[in-house]
Amino acid sequence: MKCYCYETDAHFVFCVEDFEVSIEENLKQAWFEKSDQKYLKKYNKDMEVNGVTPKHKQILSENFARLGPVMFAGVFNWEAVVSVIAEQFNASGIEWYLIGSASDAARGIQVKPHDIDIIVNTKDFFKVRDLCAKSVVEPFVDNLGTWTVRYFGRLCIDGAMVDIAADEKSNLEKYPYERIVWNHQEIYVEPLESRYQTEIQRNRSERIRAFESFVEKDLK
């Protein structure tokens, strides 16, 4: 697999080629689109208004070429990755919340995360980019109100795709995260009922059964 970046007159492009058919679903889930025999993801060439400088583009190009093949292979130990994140973020005073399937797994629900989704406090978003500079594989951008969340970026940590998002409405003081004990430390996770309803809406029968089995076991 070959991963690289290039620029056109209008775009800064992430390109994946020479890939195995078995990883195409991983590329699609990362919002890459197929074009001929390649998968592409395009950003506007001029991103300085969004917080991406030419220096950041150079770092991105180097990191994507080095880490992209490992990340898209989709093989990682989610517990090890979350442990690394917890250690780095907590030591640096970053306020973070685990969401998505990784939050389910941290509760003990029998699911296998295909990536790691993290929300951070808005004040810490660009701090994460700088702290994890060697792991940044897609731009950390301020979407300026044009997308579902205001801030979004992507890391690759120990082979895992780690999506970092931030939005004022998702800060701890405005969203009811739940605090659980995981690996002998307290972490904030997405509410159980919220996650359950999400899987129902997506009609993921296997995930729904895993949730229901977990709740039934907890009630006994």
pLDDT tens string 16-71: 999 999 999 999 999 999 999 999 999 999 999 888 999 999 999 999 999 999 99
Positions of the chain with pLDDT under 50: none
Q: What is the pLDDT of residue 164?
A: 98
Q: What is the pLDDT of residue 156?
A: 98
Q: What is the pLDDT of residue 152?
A: 97
List of long-range contacts for 179-188, beta carbons under 8 Å, 24+ apart: 180/106, 180/107, 182/82, 182/106, 183/79, 183/83, 183/86, 185/86, 185/90, 187/86, 187/97, 187/98, 187/106, 188/96, 188/97, 188/98
What would the two tokens of residue 189 be?
């996770």
> What percent of the chain has pLDDT above 70?
99
Q: What is the pLDDT of residue 97?
A: 98
Taking the domains of the chain in order of start, what are their residue ranges? 2-219
> Which helix (DSSP H) or strand (DSSP E) does residue 139 occupy?
strand 136-142
Q: Class assignment of domain 2-219?
A: alpha beta
What would the two tokens of residue 165 be?
């998002």
Predicted TM-score (pTM) of the model is: 0.95
Q: What is the pLDDT of residue 216?
A: 85
The DSSP symbol for 67 reads H
